[in-house]
Amino acid sequence: MINGVINGGIQFFFLKDKALIAVSVDSITNNDDTVLGAAVGLAIMLAMIGTIVTYFGIKEKKVSFYPTAFWTVIRHGFFTFGVVASLSVLWQRYVGTVEVSLWTALITIALIAGAVAGVINYLTIEKCTLNESEVK
């Protein structure tokens, strides 16, 4: 939740000049700022950084950083890209181009950031913490 608030606040400074912001537009390549376009890049970086931070925050016995945690960082980046980009495409396909206010855009981005942070934290702890039977 804290991560969502922080990243929503950061996005405010990028989008503050816009009164209305499209959630998505009907084009893969465009020069417009969109809510889901901002969320994709943010989610990927958040997933990769969050994986590293969570790994080094684990106090119990854990796997070595290389290769297991390193490849987990890469995997989480691709996983997050796939999920957020797919949901963006589905939004555009079934809802179309919708413009929202700045605050609605920021809340949407913050919710996506919070969800990504929570899921990635759980997945990292699950993947990188050694169970009693795995400790040698």
Residues 78-89: tens digit of each pLDDT: 999 999 999 999
Is 52 inside a domain boundary?
Answer: yes
Using the structure block, give the residue that is written with the tokens 């990769």: 48
pLDDT given at position 3 = 84
Is 66 inside a domain boundary?
Answer: yes
Domain of residue 92 covers 2-128
Tell me the one-letter amino acid at 111: L
Identify the DSSP state of 16.
Answer: T
Is 135 inside a domain boundary?
Answer: no
Residue of 35, 49, 44 lying closest to 98 (CA atoms):
35
pLDDT given at position 136 = 63
70, HSE (Cβ side, Cα atoms, 13 Å):
4
Is 134 inside a domain boundary?
Answer: no
What's the pLDDT band for 119 if we cut at 50, 70, 90? very high
pTM of the model: 0.89
What's the pLDDT band for 32 if we cut at 50, 70, 90? confident
Is 106 inside a domain boundary?
Answer: yes
- Give how many domains the chain has, as a whole number: 1
Is 133 inside a domain boundary?
Answer: no
Q: Model confidence over 43-70: pLDDT tens digits?
A: 999 999 999 999 999 999 999 999 999 9
Which residues have a Cβ under 8 Å from the Cβ of 66 and sit 6 or more positions away? none
